[in-house]
A and B are shown apart, each in its own frame.
Chain A
């Protein structure tokens, strides 16, 4: 009996912990369905007496909100694909092929992980301006595509694929391109999904790059757009909350569907030192 009680208490405690973690989200959804004046009247009332949908209607009629949303979505998808291609290729070479300078190049890449993005922002701005990238979506996609973190992660993963598989293919006369496409990539699908998932979330939530590199209100992404929206909504907190709700819908849905990979991917990659 004692252990049963302790067990259920522990269950309860864990569930409570989980609920506490999502309180802000609950508040967000609840406030977005309240009339502007009611947000602070009784904030702990989670289900409003009357569901108020005008906040969402206002957003649906907003001149830019969904435009920003679409910009973000297309930019993020492009980033995921391009990064997927470039990073897997390089990671494959680092994991399986030998070439001069391999270790030095790899160490060099790793050490660059230490450059905080914020510190080079001014130089990046001027460089991208020179390259004509400023105010296009490529200014988000291209720099994000060349990401070192996932080279590290995927290299670990590729090294875990049995060598016999690729060696027998080589003997059968397959080229390295063929091995990469037909053997390595299909086996790495879980890792690829993990990478895709993280890339999606990180790029979707990136604030600084679009904020500094994109000028046109038309071309802006939704993260920065939401800040503009917040300024516009002013003291109308319910409206701000509705805007915030819509922005987290996509990543949360994707996360909910693919959650397994989120956890597995890290565990599999063997980031254990």
Chain B
């Protein structure tokens, strides 16, 4: 070894030692701040800790909502930010729960999650807390209040979304296509999307995501249940086969939206519509929020809204939707403040995100006022009348968006897994339906034990 290299080695080793010393210091520093927070909450300052995904945590709506909550109640909100997208964050939260993490509040974005967390004993029952102050959840939330087998209340709902078609007016204008209004069928939707699709410019007429309910949305519109009378899976009902084929064709045959392959290989995301490359987006009303947030999503186009298309045979004239809500971790570090937070969010968050509230005690005027505010927030891009027509004053019925029942978590996973095989052409439609039915039957049986 030459003297030169020796020198380098010594310098390098010294550097490493130095850096590692700093490293361990910063480690312990991190630990300390955690402690400080906990001590702080034990004394005067009231704090509630809440899980949120990275994107929502950064959103203007969230910041404003939290600021107002703190102003009103004096409780500070600390977000436990979970990176990831959509359902991905619940993998992390699951693991947290099992390891006894004390973060207080969990937002449950769909009924399957609500059921999974509530029925498996991870949430704190709210009944006593509500009884103490005579809080009548039934009167406020009525049919939207999530129910559990043990009769307790674990979750207060903050939104009861419906579905609608949002459209990019610029793409319509460029293609010289009139905006969609009022009643229309899926055939109309496909026709319109075809006119908007322009491969040369990288524009698709339609955009849909990779959620389980897209795989069977048509069946839900016909109000075909995911379960038979005897409790087994109803996936062999022809409606499900038709629904899956319909969804697959949109990308693979009609080519009006990214095919499943393209969606997955490009890792397209739930907020893809905001990129301005798609003409229409069929999605739940929670999405309204994205249009308000021009910091995260700067855009040079205007948005419109219209109602969900229906099957041409007139037998499936339904809109659908889901209830989302907040629950409290059973290991919560700040129980009372968490309860205050959940209650406040359930009652008020519709005022911020432009989604439909899960409250039955609001009058038509209240809803109109909500639409008015959303319209104002969007500088009138969408009018009160358009929202009312798309969501409320139309001839559509209402059904559940998801398949909810025994083993629904597994059921949903099976559908996604098997449907993907069909969508990428690995499995035939009949085989896919058959194996969904078989596997779902087993999952339902396992869940019953």
Chain A CB within 8 A of B99 CB:
yes
* Shortest beta-carbon contacts, A-B, top 7: A74-B23, A228-B83, A77-B20, A129-B99, A217-B81, A77-B19, A234-B269
- A129 to B101, alpha carbons, bound, how many Å? 11
Interface centre among A70, A125, A228, A234 (most CB of B within 10 A): A234
Residue in B84, B95, B101 whose beta carbon sits within 8 Å of that of A125 in the complex: B95
Residues of B within 8 A of A232 (CB): 54-55
B434 to chain A, nearest CB (A): 31
Centre residue among B6, B17, B95, B100 by max chain A CB count within 10 A = B95
B266 CB contact (under 8 Å) in A81, A129, A215, A235 = A235
> Which B residues fall within an 8 A CB radius of A?
1, 6, 8-9, 16-17, 19-20, 22-24, 26-27, 30-31, 54-55, 80-85, 92, 95-96, 98-101, 266-269, 271-272, 275
| A-B contact list, 7 entries, CB within 8 Å | A74-B23, A212-B95, A216-B80, A217-B82, A220-B83, A232-B55, A235-B272
Q: Is the interface of B mostly helix, strand, loop or mixed?
A: helix
- Which residues of chain B come closer than 8 Å to A78, judged between CB atoms? 20, 23-24
Judge whether A241 is part of the interface by a CB distance below 8 angstroms.
no
With A129-B99, A232-B55 already in contact, the answer to whether A215 and B92 are too (CB < 8 A) is yes
Q: Interface digits, A168-211 against B, CB 8 Å rule (1 contact, 0 not)?
A: 00000000000000000000011001001000000000000000
- Binary B-proximity of A70-100 (CB < 8 A = 1, otherwise 0): 1001110110110000000000000000000
| Inter-chain contacts of A70 with B (CB < 8 A) | 23, 26
Q: A74-B26, A129-B98 are in contact. Are A231 and B84 (CB under 8 A)?
A: yes
Interface size class of A (residues with CB under 8 A): 20 to 34
Contact A215 B95 (CB under 8 A): yes
List residues of chain A with CB within 8 A of the CB of B269. 231, 234
Closest to B8 in A: A257
Chain B minimum-CB-distance residue to A196: B16
Complex: how many Å from CA A83 to CA B337?
45
Do the beta carbons of A77 and B16 come within 8 Å of each other?
A: yes
Q: Chain B residues with Cβ under 8 A from A73's Cβ?
A: 19, 23
* Contact, CB under 8 Å: B275 / A228: no
* Known contacts A73-B19, A78-B23, A134-B99, A234 near B271 by CB under 8 Å: yes
CB–CB B23/A77 < 8 A: yes
Contact assessment for B275 and A234 in the assembled complex, using a CB-CB cutoff below 8 Å: yes
Shortest Cβ gap from A202 to chain B (Å): 16
Q: Chain B contacts of A124 at CB under 8 A?
A: none
A residues 117-143 touching B (CB-CB < 8 Å):
125, 129, 134-137
Q: Give the complex CA separation of A75 and B23 in angstroms.
A: 7
CB distance from A145 to the nearest CB of B (A): 13
A231 and B20 contact, CB distance less than 8 A = no
A235 touches B85 (CB 8 A): no
For the complex formed, measure the closest distance between the CB of B198 and the CB atoms of chain A, giving whole angstroms. Answer: 16
User: What's the Cα separation between A195 and B2 when bound, in Å?
Assistant: 20
- Of A75, A129, A137, A228, the residue contacting B84 (CB under 8 A) is A228
- B contact residues around A219 at 8 Å (CB): 30
Q: Say whether B22 contacts A215, CB under 8 Å.
A: no
Q: A215 to chain B: which residues have CB within 8 Å?
A: 82, 92, 95-96, 99, 101
**Cα of A193 to Cα of B6 in the assembled complex, Å:** 11
Select the residue from B1, B23, B85, B101 with max chain A CB neighbours within 10 A. B23
Neighbouring B residues of A11 by C-beta, 8 Å: none
**Which residues in A have their C-beta under 8 angstroms from that of B82?**
215, 217
Q: How far is the CA of A4 from the CA of B236 in the complex (A)?
A: 73
Q: How far is the CA of A82 from the CA of B273 in the complex (A)?
A: 49
- Besides A77-B19, A189-B6, A215-B101, 12 other A-B contacts (C-beta < 8 A): A70-B26, A73-B23, A77-B16, A78-B20, A190-B1, A212-B95, A216-B80, A217-B54, A217-B81, A218-B30, A235-B272, A235-B275
> Which listed residue, A74, A189, A257, touches B27 by the CB 8 Å rule?
A74
CA distance A257 to B15 in the complex (A): 15
Which residues does chain B contribute within 8 Å of A136, judged by CB atoms?
A: 27, 31
Q: Is the CB of A81 within 8 A of B17?
A: yes
Q: How far is the CA of A220 from the CA of B95 in the complex (A)?
A: 15
Most chain-B Cβ atoms within 10 A of its Cβ — which of A193, A217, A218, A220? A217
Residues of B within 8 A of A80 (CB): 16
Contact partners of B95 in chain A: CB under 8 A = 125, 212, 215
Residues in A with CB closer than 8 Å to B81 are 217
A119 and B42 CA atoms in complex are apart in Å by 41
Partner of A81, one of B20, B99, B272: B20
Contact (Cβ within 8 A) B9 A74: no
Q: Are A189 and B16 in contact (CB under 8 A)?
A: no
Task: Note all chain B residues with C-beta closer than 8 A to A212.
Answer: 95
State in angstroms the CA–CA spacing of A77 and B14 once bound together. Answer: 12
Nearest-CB distance from A96 to chain B (Å)?
A: 22
Contact A74 B272 (CB under 8 A): no
- Roughly how many angstroms separate A219 CA and B82 CA in the complex, as a whole number? 12
Chain B residues in 8 Å Cβ range of A129: 98-100
| Contacting pair B99 A189 (CB below 8 A) | no
